[in-house]
Structure 1
Amino acid sequence: MRRVVLCGLVLTLACGCATGDGDEGRAPGAPTGVTAQAGSATSVHVMWNAVSGDPPVASYEIYRGGTKVADAPGSAHMLDIVRLTPATAYVFTVRARDADGRLGPSSRKVRATTPAAVAQDRSAPTRPGRLTGRAAGSRAVQLSWSASTDDRKVMSYDVYQGGTKVHSVGGNQTATVVTGLRPGTRYSFTVRARDAADNLSPAGPPVRLTTPAGADEAGDTAPADFRATARLDADGAYYLDLSWVAPRVDGVVTEYQIQLDGQPATSLVWGGDPPRGRAEYSFYAGRDKGVEHRVRLRARLPDGTWGAFSAERTLTTGAGG
């Protein structure tokens, strides 16, 4: 199944998915660098390194013991496992599945223990301060900050790029390296502290960094071959039919923003299983004939930034393509 989130609505689309375990070809390798860190009394943050392959990795499967508990898109290298039991030891592994459905071997086992629950703890930690950083090559940055305080204990720190959580570390750690970035790109990072009761602090001051250009400079980040037509539906309303090809970037693009007449119109999010090749989407454009519209879209890239806009298409309802 594939889950699509459109303007706050969740639709489920049926899709034919290969199990892939018996397919010919070489399955992706086991994820490396897997870590698990308790984020609160009921959550553990699992991270891993990207797995390369041809075809590329489409998704990751996270296991608790021998049971699969979550899926993550191929662009993700971290996930919060939630609804856990306080004061409990857990074992996690990660497996990669490629675009042809082949499932790779398990990573090494990693262990994490959730802390005991704290009753009636509604006090969030103080905000982290003095966030500083520097580029570490063209695809990573090093960040450090001053520790937060809490009336009980800081369990973890969450690192955000813009409004997207991209990293997490334990509460005894006040420095980290964020990888998977793009060369020649400007980023804005903030850090928030979390306690065992999942109370989250305000974000500390941002730090803005630009990764240097590299020999492996990423290509165009705009969706390619963007097409748009207007059609009259049987219900008497006009719809805009859009199609495009995802930009070629490291990882899988699962989110797009569609702009209509110069303003954001809607967001389109695939829950970990975006269409391969050409993507398609239609949305309501009213009942009036002869209305001109300008439409374009952009992708949220795996590093949390927005890519470039596609070419803009101009079309008029009732006037053909």
Structure 2
Amino acid sequence: MPAVSAPADRRRPRPRAVPRRVALLCAASALAVSCGWGTAAEGGDQPPPGAPTGVTAEAGTATTVHVMWNAVAGADGYEVYRGRTKVREVSGTERMVDVTRLSPSTGYAFTVRARDADGRTGPPSGAVRATTPAAVAEDRVPPAAPSHLAARAAGGRAVQLSWTAAPDDREVVSYDIQQGGTKIHSVGGDQTAAVVTGLRPGHAYAFTVRARDAAGNVSPAGTAVRVTTPGSDDGRATAPTGLRAGSHRADGAYHIDLSWVPPVTDGVVTEYQIQLDGKPATSLVYGGEAPRERAEHSFYAGREAGVTHRVRVRAKLPDGTWGGYSAQRTVTTGED
């Protein structure tokens, strides 16, 4: 695993008349991002991202720990450290990792740092600790599925889940909470409740829970529970903005050219739906790094010139729901 390195920027111009004591303090702290001077200038008008909050760590098996954190504004990626060793890097759309290849019956401390698109890392989060359980003899029997899963909305943006503990021939070490088949949270085996946050008012969600033992065996999912958050959401806060529409001709046909600013969300948007004349026309999914400032897309619109179309765009949000539509634009093939 790669060793941790100090995120110092050797290109930083040396400040004038820095007191010797301050310079020594800066050099002595290997994990310090800066000592307060020159930070904003290095990345233009924006400072490096802040320290992640809400960091938790729960043992998943005898050799794994599940680490989670809250999203950080401006983060293009995250680095997860075990002590001083960087053990994982994930994209800015992720807020959890499973740290593997750990030792049983061992305590670990974890921190998380956010990294922006320029490669600058912010300060580390507060350290959180987790102890892996003891190793077990060969165990191929998974726990039974958790039962009596219940859910209630805790306001428009959170849901409280509870369930009955799952039986196992050894011991349940953790529970995985899934939303629509995707793991979104994990809690310790001694817990039978969890709060899921970052949801939207007035939307329906489905959750399931799986139990995991120390050997890594995972139970079947229990019966799904469905809940709708209260309130209403007109979609304006989650709609793409700045939509521009034009057309061009290539190979004897016309294509509609769109560009827009992605909505500000708790994570990076990687999927969009484009509506043409009131009907879904095409979906756009970014398999690599999704644009954060302005997205662009072109699609086939036929061979006839002078045809006017109505277009608008919406984004699939990190919570799995569709955001609001952008303002509608009209574009006529063959016109600039």
TM more than 0.5: yes
- Residue 195 (structure 2) aligned to one of 150, 154, 177: 177
Which structure has the highest strand share of the two? 1
Say which structure, 1 or 2, has more relative contact order (CA 8 Å, 6+ apart): 1
- 1:276 matched to 2:292? The reply is yes
Structure 2 partner of 1:252 = 267
Inter-CA distance 192–228: structure 2 relative to 1 (3 Å threshold): farther
Distance, in Å, in 1 between the alignment partners of 2:298 and 2:133 is 47
What displacement does 1:144 show? Answer: 0.4
- Matched residue, 2:209: 191
1:281-296 alignment runs, 5 A limit: 281=297
Distance 1:252 1:80, change over 3 A: closer
SS at match of 2:286: strand
In the TM superposition, residue 46 of structure 1 has moved relative to its aligned partner by 0.8
- 1:151-183 CA-to-partner distances (Å, cap 9, x unmatched) read 332221111222332211011110011122223
When residues 217 and 142 of structure 1 are mapped into structure 2, their CA distance, relative to the original with a 3 A threshold, is farther
Q: Is the 8 A contact 1:42 1:83 kept in 2?
A: yes
Q: State the Cα deviation string for residues 28-82 of structure 1 (Å, max 9, x = none).
A: 4433332211112342111223445xxx444332112222222344454x31234
> In the alignment, is the contact (CA less than 8 A) between 1:166 and 1:304 conserved in 2?
no
Q: Equivalences for 1:211-226 in 2 at 5 Å? A: 211-213=229-231, 219-226=236-243
* Equivalence for 2:131: 113
1:229-248 aligned at under 5 Å gives the runs 242-248=258-264
Q: Kindly indicate whether the alpha-carbon contact (under 8 Å) linking 2:234 and 2:324 is maintained by their aligned counterparts in 1.
A: no
Other structure's SS at 1:94 match: strand
Count of aligned residue pairs for this structure pair: 293
The alpha-carbon distance between structure 1 residues 157 and 223, as it changes in their structure 2 partners (threshold 3 A), is same
User: How far does the alpha carbon of each residue in 1:134-164 deviate from its partner, in whole angstroms, 9 at most, with x for none?
Assistant: 2222322211011112233222111122233
The residue number in structure 1 matching 2:154 is: 136
- 2:177, 2:239 → 1: CA distance? 26
Residue equivalent to 1:79: 96
CA distance in 2, matches of 1:232, 1:280: 17
* Structure 1 residue 297 displacement after superposition: 5.2
Rg (Cα) greater in structure:
2
Aligned to 2:316: 300
Distance 1:127 1:51, change over 3 A: same
Is the Cα contact below 8 Å between 2:145 and 2:211 reproduced in 1? yes
How do 1:93-108 residues align onto structure 2 when only pairs under 5 Å count?
93-98=111-116, 102-108=120-126
2:68 — aligned with what? 47
Partners of 2:53 and 2:125 within 8 A in 1: yes
Displacement of 1:225 in angstroms is 4.2
Change in Cα spacing, 1:237 to 1:124, as seen in structure 2 (3 Å) is: farther
> For residues 234-253 of structure 1, what are the alpha-carbon distances to aligned partners after superposition, in whole Å with 9 as ceiling and x for unaligned?
8x99977553321233x232
Q: In 1, distance between residues paired with 2:190 and 2:281? A: 40
Whichever structure has more helix as a proportion of its residues is 2
Q: Which residue of 1 aligns with 2:58?
A: 37
Mapped to 2, the partners of 1:119 and 1:108 lie a distance apart of: 35
User: Quick one: which amino acid aligns to residue 305 of structure 1?
Assistant: T
TM-score normalised by structure 2 residue count: 0.69
Q: What's the Cα RMSD here? A: 4.0
